[in-house]
Amino acid sequence: MLICANWKMNLNQEESLTLFKEFLKVKTANEIVVFPTSLSIYSLSDELKKANQKNIKLGIQNFYPSEAGAFTGEITISELPENIDYCLIGHSERRTILNESDYFVEEKINFALEKSKKVILCVGESIEVRKIGKAQEFILNQLNSALKSVKSLDNIIIAYEPIWSIGTGLVPTKTEVTEIINVIYEKFPTQILYGGSVTDQNISQFKDIEKLSGFLVGGASLNLEKFEKIVSMLN
């Protein structure tokens, strides 16, 4: 399984390094991908090189899809250390708070693939959309738009993250997750993750969903004990 730890805008450089060193000691056959803040990525990259740990990878939470130029405050992929393998794209916090459009998400995906990165593409419906029974349609629209010009799904991993579940403690039922995963898989047969309030307390209900390849964990990945439990439950 693939277990992603999205640290969002949490942990300063020292705290990130301390937690990452602990992650490097976690024994697992699964793959763990840590998404620290951009400011911490160099020190974690150095630590990863020293550790030579094959099961832990690093990813970037954000970048701008251009090689260089007048993009104040942005960072590009070529500036990153080489051992950053993954890019998180389309997270609902970036879509809603930073106004990233479907078009921009598509551009970011194409740019990341050109740079030989693996993409974790996040999709998910709001509570309003779910209530009117349009969740599947909404998610397929997001995917069709984001992956319009993608020729192969080889480096694309899809993360189903219902917006109403992120950081709220609310989780969909196993049936609801299974339905969405199956609908996605039918059109986009690739690795699919679930994300949204995943903890050591609720992960067991999802882990045997047939087409589910892993999890995207936010809050619980900031706590070593909780994250270790999550990883061990998936071993």
The candidate with the shortest Cα–Cα distance to 63, out of 100, 17, 32, 97, is: 100
Binding mask 4-23 for ligand PGA (x = CB under 6 A): --x-----------------
34 binds ligand PGA (CB under 6 A): no
Give CA–CA dist 110/104, Å, rounded: 10
197 binds ligand PGA (CB under 6 A): yes
The candidate with the shortest Cα–Cα distance to 124, out of 181, 65, 60, 59, is: 181
According to CB under 6 A, which one of 166, 192, 193, 203 is a site residue for ligand PGA? 166
The candidate with the shortest Cα–Cα distance to 123, out of 150, 157, 167, 99, is: 157
65 binds ligand PGA (CB under 6 A): no
Q: Which residue is nearest to ligand PGA (CB)?
A: 218
Using CB under 6 A as the binding criterion, the count of chain residues that bind ligand PGA stands at: 13
CB of 200 to ligand PGA, least distance (A): 12
Interface stretch with ligand PGA, choices 45-53, 64-72, 185-193, 216-224 (CB under 6 A): 216-224
Give the catalytic positions in this structure.
91, 161
129 binds ligand PGA (CB under 6 A): no
User: Which C-beta is closer to ligand PGA: that of 48 or that of 193?
Assistant: 193
Inter-CA distances, 4 with 107, 120, 155, Å: 23, 9, 15
Residue 198 region by backbone torsions, left for phi larger than 0, else alpha for psi between -120 and 50, else beta? beta
According to CB under 6 A, which one of 49, 79, 132, 167 is a site residue for ligand PGA? 167
What is the number of residues in the chain?
235
Count CB atoms within 10 A of the CB of residue 180. Answer: 23
161 binds ligand PGA (CB under 6 A): yes
216 binds ligand PGA (CB under 6 A): yes
User: Which C-beta is closer to ligand PGA: that of 107 or that of 161?
Assistant: 161
CB of 226 to ligand PGA, least distance (A): 10
Count CB atoms within 10 A of the CB of residue 14. Answer: 10
Give CA–CA dist 78/87, Å, rounded: 13
Residue in the structure block whose two tokens are 């964990």: 217
Chain residues binding ligand PGA by CB under 6 A are 6, 161, 166-167, 195-198, 216-220
